[in-house]
């Protein structure tokens, strides 16, 4: 099992897309192990997007993500990072495949609805930043026997 960080950005929250987006992750068979609605402190946004500091879009990105509440999620499942990124789709909603979150709901590269960790290292760093110690719940969902073949869990 792998745990990844996902957050629904201000545009997803303001557009009332929380429920349909959450439903996609849940219907896929992934498990929510952390969830919180919050206003993002500027310092947290700066830490989260530190790799983009100095790039032309950096200040706009910080202003956007701190402009309105976000829904922060820790999601667990087999290969959760890759599975979630496939569900999210390409960065720009105009280019994202139909059936993905961005492909179905997005029209922008900047206001792109969802963030998802892009590697195990990023997921570890981001989960610590957003949830700290003890912010993620261990849950043994009985659905896993219906979601995964036993060989998937080895």
Neighbour tally for 145: CB within 10 Å: 10
Active site annotation includes 115: yes
The first and second tokens of residue 92, run together, are 């720009």
Neighbour tally for 135: CB within 10 Å: 15
Look at residues 27, 33, 26 and name the one whose alpha carbon lies nearest to residue 5.
33
> Which residue in 115, 117, 123, 136 is the catalytic one?
115
Cβ-contact 97, 28 below 8 angstroms = no
Q: Which residues contact 97 (CB under 8 A, 6 or more apart)?
A: 89, 90, 103
Q: What is the DSSP letter of 36?
A: E
Which residues on adjacent β-strands are paired with residue 76?
Answer: 3, 31
Known catalytic residues?
Answer: 115
């Amino acid at each position: 099992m792998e745990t990844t960080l996902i957050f629904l950005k201000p545009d997803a929250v303001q557009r009332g897309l929380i429920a349909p987006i959450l439903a996609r992750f849940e219907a896929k068979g992934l498990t929510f192990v952390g969830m919180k609605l919050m206003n993002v402190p500027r310092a947290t946004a700066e830490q989260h997007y530190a790799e983009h500091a100095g790039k032309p879009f950096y200040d706009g990105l910080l202003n956007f993500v701190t402009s309105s509440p976000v829904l922060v999620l820790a999601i667990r499942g087999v290969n959760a990072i890759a599975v979630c990124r496939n569900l999210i789709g390409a960065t720009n909603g105009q280019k994202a495949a139909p059936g993905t979150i961005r492909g179905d709901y997005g029209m922008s590269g900047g206001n792109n609805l969802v963030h998802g960790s892009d590697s195990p290292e990023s997921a570890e760093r981001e989960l610590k930043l957003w949830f700290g110690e003890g912010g993620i719940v261990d849950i043994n969902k009985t659905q896993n026997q219906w979601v995964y073949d036993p060989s998937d869990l080895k």
